[in-house]
Structure formats: structure tokens, C-alpha cells
Amino acid sequence: MGKKWITTPRSEGKASKQAHADLPEGTFERELGKEGFFGPATHMHHRHPPTGWTNFEGALKPRAFDTTKLDQFGDSPWSARPLMSNAHCRIRIWEARQSMDHLVRNGDGDELLFIHSGAGELFCDYGRMSFSEGDYIVLPRGTMWRLAISEPARVLMIEATNASYMLPDRGLLGPNAIFDTAALGMPEIDQAFLDQQDENEWEVRIKRREAFSRITYPFNPLDAVGWHGDLVPVRLNWRDIRPLMSHRYHLPPSAHTTFVANRFVICTFVPRPFETDPGALKVPFFHNNDDFDEVIFYHAGDFFSRDNIHPGMMSLHPCGFTHGPHPKALKNAFEQKAAGTEEVAVMIDTRDALDVDEGAGSVEWGGYVDSWKPKS
């Protein structure tokens, strides 16, 4: 049966004609939207900042975690404790402090690695691929892989549980927008890959339904000499992303979608110029993302809409409450001192509520919920 949104667009009271621009004097805009900025929306104009609470208790409070304080990682990606998860997504932080002496394989879903720091080589069924800071690496479900590091690598791992990573529909923008697929790196069967094929004993650690099996081979099972097809790991660095921009309108986070999976999306915030239209908002707008939980991993730079956030931190905004820029950023809502943003961050918007693991709770910044309070 076909479905159609119930929509009756109208304007009431003092309201702007354009979202995120030309707000009535002395008001603060709040967006109420469906389906994570993809569905119908209404824009409220308030006399006070919608985040001007004096107290916030309960499960919906915004939370922040300092993952730089995590220091127990083990020798395998499967040693990393989950930070947050639901039935469709699992988020971990792992640090490879030395090259892996075994192979791993995820039987639960595609794995996305984001290299927060470090460098080295990834060896997998398909060949060898170098990696460095700022790389995304998409590993199809069932791929055998290991990291050989040249410097310790801290990795954000995002599992698409029982699902696959795909690219967003770019629609009117065309297939080359945001990033051209020609920018994607792929493994190669080169001499370095052939040289690592030996007759020594190798172990493969397989994860399936969060249980682990071990298979031992009397040879290195990464022994392919060739392949053909269109299922392959790919690498994308954030520097190869060319963000959508509008000088007259602050684009929603959905405009920065990089990968999509089943019931969640991955967006990447990279440096871009600020809007130049005098009446356009130049900070993220207050919004109720009432259908998605929002996680942001802060990778590098100056996070202009947040106070007291540094690289390596992670925030969680559960769906169901209004959030937006901190008071310091709000002062620059219509006039910025710099020419553009300098932040790099990974956003994970999940359609289903995320459970916070003890590993994240152990490095939580309890004062985050109070960071919206005006400074006296």
C-alpha cells in the first residue's frame, strides 16, 4: 500500500519565509523534522534559546565521552569494548599498538574503519592497501584482514550489523558530487602482498553474533593471486570530500551524508566556508531530531558550535529533545570572525535508540548537559 505524509503547509504569527534565514528579530529558530531532515519539517520561532534549561534529568540528557582516556585495547579489533550499540549498529574504539599477528573476519556485517590517528598497511583477501590518518575503510562482511602498522593506529569502528554500506543517492547533484568514486582507493595484489604469503601457521578470529571462533591454517590464507568483480574494500580520506555549500542557507547535516546502511547513516563534517548572506544562520540550527539518535566523533580542528570539546571526544544526543549550538557559538549566529569552519567530525545518525556500554560510561564527561547553560 502506498503511503503519503500528512502535509498542510502554512505560516502562523511572526515567521520567516525561508528556513535558517531572516529570522524575526529577537527570535531563535527550532526545526521539528521527520526522518532525520529528509521528511516534512516545521520551523518554530522562539523568544528564548530552546536549550536554555536550568536542569535536565533522565535518559534523554545529552552525553559526551572522552575516548582519549581509553587505554585498554588488546591485540585484536575484537578486544575493543563496544561504546554504543543497537540491533543495527555497533560502535567501538580500538588502538593497534603493534602489527597484528592474526587475521580477523566479521560475520555480523560490513565494518567501517575510520583512522583517527596512525598509519600502516591493511592486508586482506583482495590485496594490500595503505592507510593513514583521516581514512575511511569499508570492509565487506566476511573479509579477512589485518593491520601492519608503521605508527600506532587509533581506529573508530562502526559495524553495519547484518547489513551493508552503500553510497547515498546524490539526486540532482549527479554522481560526481561530494566525492567522485574515482577518489576511492582499493587493495592491490602487488609485490608486498605476494611477499607476505608464507607457509607459517596463521589464525583467523571470526566474530559472529558477538561470539568468537578461531580457525588455524598451516599457511597464510591471504594467498590470492588474482580476482575480478565489483565487491571490494574501498578507502576514502576526508580530504577527498568536497562538501555541499550554500552561501545563503545553512544546509542540514543530511547534506553531508557519506555512507548509508540499514537504519543509520554516516555523515562527514569537513572544513567549508561560512555562509555569507547577512540574514543566513552561520551555526547549526536548533532542532528536534525526533526519529534518530545522533552521535558525533570529533576528529580534528576547532569545533565551532561546541565548547570544551577536543579531538577524540564523542557526543550522544538521543532523539526526543532539542539541541543545537552552545551559548558561545550562538553569539556568532549571524556573523563569524573566521572565513570558514576548521572542524572534521564523523556523525552517526541511527534510526534506533543506542545503548551506551560501560566502556563509554567509564570515560563520560558528566558536565556536558550543563554546557548549554548561559555563562554568568
| Catalytically active residues, by annotation | 250
Contact yes or no for 189/225 (Cβ under 8 A): yes
Which residues have CB under 8 Å from 73's CB, separation 6+?
Answer: 79, 80, 94, 95, 96, 97
Q: Which of 13, 28, 65, 63 is nearest to 321 (CA)?
A: 63
Q: Is 293 annotated as a binding residue?
A: yes
Contact yes or no for 29/286 (Cβ under 8 A): yes
**Spatial separation of the C-alpha atoms in residues 147 and 236, rounded to whole Å:** 17
**Spatial separation of the C-alpha atoms in residues 360 and 159, rounded to whole Å:** 17
Q: Is 323 annotated as a binding residue?
A: yes
Cell numbers 534506533: residue: 352
Q: Is 287 annotated as a binding residue?
A: yes
Q: Strand pairing partners for 293?
A: 350
C-alpha distance from residue 28 to each of 22, 61, 198 (Å): 11, 21, 64
Residue 328: enclosing H or E segment and its boundaries? helix 327-330
Please tell me whether residue 370 adopts helix, strand or coil conformation: helix
- Using the Cα atoms of residue 20, residue 304, residue 270 and residue 254 in order, give the sign of their dihedral: negative
Contact yes or no for 115/155 (Cβ under 8 A): yes
Q: Could you tell me which residues are annotated as the binding site for homogentisate?
A: 323
Q: Could you tell me which residues are annotated as the binding site?
A: 287, 293, 323
